[in-house]
Structure formats: structure tokens, C-alpha cells
A = this chain, B = another copy of it.
Amino acid sequence: MPLPQTEAPGRLQAALTARGVRLTHQRRTILGVVENASQHLDAAQILRQARRLDPGIDRVTVYRTLKLLKRYGLIDELDLMHMQGEKHYYERRPQRDHIHMACLRCGNIFEFESDLFDRLKREIERDCRFHIVVSRLEVGGYCTQCRSPE
């Protein structure tokens, strides 16, 4: 069953409150959808789910809220190698960055954390004297299932 929007305030909501951002009913709903998503959602999917909880929510409000969250660095915007059109996907920014792998055959998205990735980012910061705010590593290819015969 869909999660009630009266659920315990999530981390996103707490983070916005801490920054003194006004929390409207609509924002709470959208935050809840993003927070409790079991997969990467695009704007249209977020809108659809938010409307189940609050049918009056407008598409524009979803876009404005996503932009707000992105501006505060609370969510990451993914392209997932543009596997299905040019839409973007969103996920709450994790403690530790991870890599997204998109299977070009089955379309599944896999995630992977890696010390080497963390080291690479530190190397970039040091060698290029570049202060990293946000990073995105996406790869497209074939997963085990799709490579194996059958």
C-alpha cells in the first residue's frame, strides 16, 4: 500500500527545515515520494506518485521542488546513460557516492561503491586543484545475466 504522507518526517524534510526553508503540504508529499522510492524515479513518476497522495499537486511544483533539493545538494540528478529518452532520475544523495551501471540490454540499473572511486576523486582534487561539489560516474554495458548464453 502507498505510504501515508503523515509518516515520520524524513531526512530531506529535516534538512530543509534546518536550512530555514518553508515546508508546504505539497513539498512534504514530494519529499516523501523521493525519500521512500525503492528505485530511481523521473519527474513524471514522482508527479504520479505524489498525486496519489495529493491529487491537486502540479507538475510545475514537482520540478520546482526537485530544483530546490538539487540546489541544496540533497538529491543527485542522474541520466542513467539516457537509456529511455532524455529524462532525469533522482535519488536522495547518499552518504557515500556510488557508481551507476546501466545494462543496455535489460535496462536494469546496478549500483556500486568503491574505495577506488573515492581515491580517484581525491586524486582529481589534488592533481587538478579542483574542488569537487558533485560527481557522477555512469557506465553503460552488459550485466552478467545479459552477457551469459541464456
With known contacts A79-B79, A119-B116, A120-B120, A141–B131 Cβ distance under 8 A? yes
A interface with B by C-beta (< 8 Å): 77, 79, 81-82, 86, 99, 101, 103-104, 110, 112, 114, 116-117, 119-121, 123-124, 127-144, 147
Contacting A143 at CB < 8 Å: which of B120, B130, B138?
A: B130
Find out whether the CB atom of B133 lies under 8 angstroms from the CB atom of A140: yes
Question: What chain B residues lie within 8 Å of A114 (beta carbons)?
Answer: 120, 123-124, 127
Copies of the protein in its oligomer: 2
Question: What chain B residues lie within 8 Å of A141 (beta carbons)?
Answer: 130-134
Find out whether the CB atom of A110 lies under 8 angstroms from the CB atom of B137: no
Q: Can you name 29 A-B pairs with beta carbons within 8 Å?
A: A77-B82, A79-B79, A86-B86, A101-B124, A101-B128, A103-B130, A104-B133, A112-B124, A112-B127, A112-B128, A114-B120, A114-B123, A116-B120, A116-B123, A117-B120, A120-B120, A120-B137, A128-B143, A132-B139, A132-B140, A133-B139, A135-B137, A135-B138, A135-B139, A136-B136, A136-B137, A136-B138, A136-B139, A137-B137
**How many angstroms between the C-alpha atoms of A137 and B82 in the bound complex?**
14
With known contacts A114-B123, A120-B114, A124-B112, A140–B134 Cβ distance under 8 A? yes
